[in-house]
Amino acid sequence: MSEQVNYINVLLHGKEYTSHVAKLLGLTEEKLEKINWKITIDDEWGKPTGYTIELSNNSPEDILSTIPRLEYNRVNVYIGDIEAIFHDVEQQFNAITESKTGLKTFVEELNKLKELSLLQSEGDKLKKILNRQIFIGIIGTMEVFLSDTFMNLVFDNPTYYQNFISTHPEFKNRKFELREIFEQQRQLETIVKKIILDTLYHNLPTVSNMYRDTLKIEFPEFRSISKHVFIRHDLVHRNGKTKEGIEVDISDSQIDEVIKDVNEFITSLCAKLNIE
């Protein structure tokens, strides 16, 4: 097996990438876990032209029968379908690291959302929908700040980068033979980027642990923020209703409250990180 194919095999078998392979095969991640598979390369004069996903002969027949384009336990994959996985990670990473967002920019975004809420008065026909979207936008702005700030700090500081790898649960169960050390080293940076990008930054307990373990700071108190995140969940995932079916109305005063709480939360965080 070539060095390139071995690298791709090691990388794609990581937990954070198996969802992509499952999509290529038309399977759920749960079904993919029941199959042993590997990547082989198709090349012409030493140049990759595509990849083949090979499935083990002892794979469950009821799963194999649902895979489109399966022939002799193999699925041919266009070279772009595999490489797009890594290009997408790099594009997202570059977009974040090329424009560093400071506290001033964050506050400006909150102010714009506040101004948007003033376009219509309470009682107007579309006011209810407008305030819902603004509420969602405020929490989203906070999530983006937490994500971008963490990503930039980790990749700007070798100590933070090492802390992340040493403490994040994703790396604790990874095992490899010593002869694989160079392939593992090559894939490490991409895996770190993917884990950070895929983190749900409204899951504040998880994000708090990441900031604490990697950046060695204690997260500001976030109980009030968690309350707003739960409301945002109802707005996004339950079409504006609680689990009990009660409609969630967002008033102008609630917009003011969530802006105030989020602003204080991020300002406190920036003070701990010496971010202006």
> Could you give the maximum distance between any two Cα atoms of the chain, in Å?
70
User: In this predicted model, what pLDDT tens digit does every residue of 102-152 receive, in sequence order?
Assistant: 888 899 999 999 988 888 776 676 888 888 999 999 999 999 999 999 999
Q: For residue 162, what are its two tokens? A: 């090492």
User: In this predicted model, what pLDDT tens digit does every residue of 17-29 receive, in sequence order?
Assistant: 677 778 778 888 8
Q: Cβ of 70: how many Cβ atoms within 10 Å?
A: 16
The domains of the chain are located at 3-87, 99-273
**CA count, 13 A, side-chain hemisphere, 204:** 20
Whole-angstrom Cα distance, residue 140 to residue 109? Answer: 11
User: In this predicted model, what pLDDT tens digit does every residue of 179-209 receive, in sequence order?
Assistant: 666 666 667 888 888 888 888 899 999 999 9
Q: Cβ of 154: how many Cβ atoms within 10 Å?
A: 22
